Chain A
Amino acid sequence: MRVEELSLTSFRNYSREKVSFSPGLNYIVGKNGEGKTNLLEALFILATTKSHRQALDKDMVKIGEGQFRVSARIIALGVDRNLDLGYDVTLRKKVANVSGFPVTKLQDFIGIFNVVMFSPEDLALVKGTPSDRRRFLDILLCQVDKVYFRLLQQYTHVSRQRNEALKLIARGAMKLFDLKPWDQQFAALAQRITLRRFQATERLAASFLSLTDAINRGKETLSISYSSSLLAATASLDVDGVARELERHQREDLKRGTSSIGPHRDDLKFLINGLPAAAYASQGQQRTAVLGLKLAELKYMQEVTGDYPVLLLDDVLSELDSSRRQMIVQVLMSDVQAVITGTDEDDLSLQGVKPALVLRVERGKVVS
Chain B
Amino acid sequence: MLSFPPAIQRLIAELARLPGIGPKTAQRLAFFLLSQERVALAELTGAILAAKEKIRYCSTCCNLAEEAACPICREGQRRRDVVCVVQDPRDVAAIERTHDFRGLYHVLHGAISPMDGIGPEQLRIKELLSRLSGGNVQELILATNPNIEGEATALYLARLIKPLGVKVTRLAHGLPVGGDLEYADELTLARALENRREM
Contact = CB atoms under 8 A, between A and B. Distances in A.
Contacts of B154: 181
Nearest to B190: A147
Nearest to A165: B114
A147 B185 CA distance: 9
Interface residues of B, number: 19
B159 interface: yes
Contact of A185 (B120, B148, B187): B148
B187 A164 contact: no
Given A147-B187, A157-B148, A184 B155 contact: yes
Contact of A146 (B113, B159, B186): B186
A158 B190 CA distance: 19
Interface in B129-148: 148
A184 B148 CA distance: 11
A136 interface: no
Interface string B100-130: 0000000000001111000110000000000
Nearest to B120: A178
Given A146-B186, A147-B187, A181 B151 contact: yes
A273 interface: no
Given A147-B190, A150-B186, A185 B114 contact: no
A178 B155 contact: no
Interface in A146-200: 146-147, 150-151, 154, 157-158, 160-161, 164-165, 168, 174, 177-178, 180-182, 184-185
B153 interface: yes
Contacts of A164: 114-115
Given A147-B187, A147-B190, A157-B148, A185 B115 contact: no
Nearest to A107: B185
B187 A181 contact: no
B87 to A, nearest CB: 14
B190 A161 contact: no
B148 A154 contact: yes
Contacts of B190: 147
B193 to A, nearest CB: 11
B31 interface: no
A185 B151 contact: yes
A154 B191 CA distance: 14
A178 B113 CA distance: 11
Contacts of A182: 114, 152
A168 B116 CA distance: 12
Given A174-B119, A178-B119, A178-B120, A161 B186 contact: no
B110 to A, nearest CB: 14
Nearest to A158: B148
Nearest to B187: A150
Contact of B115 (A154, A161, A180): A161
Interface string B180-195: 0000011100100000
Nearest to B152: A181
Contacts of B155: 180-181, 184-185
A158 B113 CA distance: 10
Interface in B26-48: none
Contacts of A181: 112, 151-156, 159
Contacts of A146: 185-187
B186 A178 contact: no
A230 B154 CA distance: 26
A181 B157 CA distance: 9
A131 B112 CA distance: 30
Contact of A160 (B115, B151, B156, B187): B115
B160 to A, nearest CB: 8
A298 B99 CA distance: 53
A117 to B, nearest CB: 24
Contact of B156 (A154, A157, A161, A180): A180
Interface of B: 112-115, 119-120, 148-149, 151-156, 159, 185-187, 190
Given A147-B186, A150-B187, A181-B151, 9 more contacts: A146-B186, A147-B187, A147-B190, A151-B187, A154-B148, A158-B148, A160-B115, A182-B114, A182-B152
Interface of A: 146-147, 150-151, 154, 157-158, 160-161, 164-165, 168, 174, 177-178, 180-182, 184-185
13 contacts: A157-B148, A161-B149, A177-B159, A178-B119, A178-B120, A180-B156, A180-B159, A181-B112, A181-B159, A182-B114, A182-B152, A185-B148, A185-B151
3 closest A-B pairs by CB: A181-B155, A181-B152, A164-B114
